[in-house]
Amino acid sequence: MTRTHLTGLSLRDLEYAVTVAQSRHFGRAAQICGVSQPSLSEQVRKLEDLLGVRLFERAARRVQPTLQGERLLNQAERVLIEARHLLAMAQQHVEPLTGELALGAISTLAPYYLPHLLRQVRSALPKLSLRLSEQQTTALLSALRGGYIDAALLAMPVPAEGMASEALFYEPFSLVCPARHRLLSLPAINLSDLVDDDLILLEEGHCLRDQALSLCRLARPGSRQATSLETLWHMIASGEGFSLLPALSLTWREGMAELVGTRALPDGESGRIIALVYRNSDPRGPEFKTLAAILRANLPAGVELRS
């Protein structure tokens, strides 16, 4: 049997090419990889020469994998995942929950929960260094599948193929509206009351948007959308409309007390489950379970455990 020589094949070059395929842009890929664009482009070209295959179609405003390049890049992604597993397995035998862990979080959770999480980790796991990032759910799942992050804090449910999850807590939603809005005068709030045209949502791509629409089935969202949860808060404070927001985002809002009113929702299912999600093929599965248990043991105010 002929042995294939691997001379010249670099994991780093594979990472460059896979990042270009995921970002569809050489400049953005260079930023992600922490190198200059000319250097990344040259290494990708050398990889193409080594493989004897053109991996990408290059145009002025568009980069996309060729048909044959798509197959090879999918395999390259699997090679990178296994290489990271190799390093993780070696480190796991030295000492669990040490070293660097890349953790992503959805952007409607990250600013409000990650400071609490960091305090817990520093106290309970002083040898664990977290590399944090925040994005929308789709981008986090893509990064997780590609091995660019190790785990993610997501709102359930998420596509389960190839993924394992550990539920951390239930975060209820509250009605948030301008201070003199008609909804604040009701003796009790029911989801059927949320039928106004002034429902404000996050822009498409945020899972919180879909959850709010699902709860407000009779509501007709207006044309106004917010790019972030903080922008949405300020739109409500200026009288633009109302929304349903997660409990952790309600903290530290004393400066808006005269402009914004909040009401609890009576339905115990008006909220979301936040879970720690990771690849079920990751050998650090037991470590992620341990991390989840540590996080569940000291929850921030406003959320609760759900069996």
Query: What is the per-residue pLDDT across 239-277, written as a single tens digit (0 to 9) for each?
Result: 888 888 899 998 877 777 788 888 888 766 688 999 999
Closest residue by Cα to residue 278 from 266, 289, 268, 294: 289
Which pLDDT score, from 0 to 100, does residue 216 have? 65
Would you say 16 and 33 are in contact if contact means Cβ atoms under 8 Å apart?
yes
Interior/surface letters 162-177, b for 16+ CB within 10 angstroms, e for the rest: ebbbbebbbbbbbbbb
What domains appear along the chain, each with residue ranges and CATH number? 11-88 (1.10.10.10)
HSE (side-chain half, CA atoms, 13 Å) at 120:
16
Which pLDDT score, from 0 to 100, does residue 2 have? 46
Strand partners, 155: 274
The answer to whether the peptide bond before residue 286 is cis (omega within 30 degrees of 0) is: no
Would you say 113 and 207 are in contact if contact means Cβ atoms under 8 Å apart?
no
At 41, the pLDDT band (50, 70, 90 cuts) reads very high
Which pLDDT score, from 0 to 100, does residue 219 have? 52
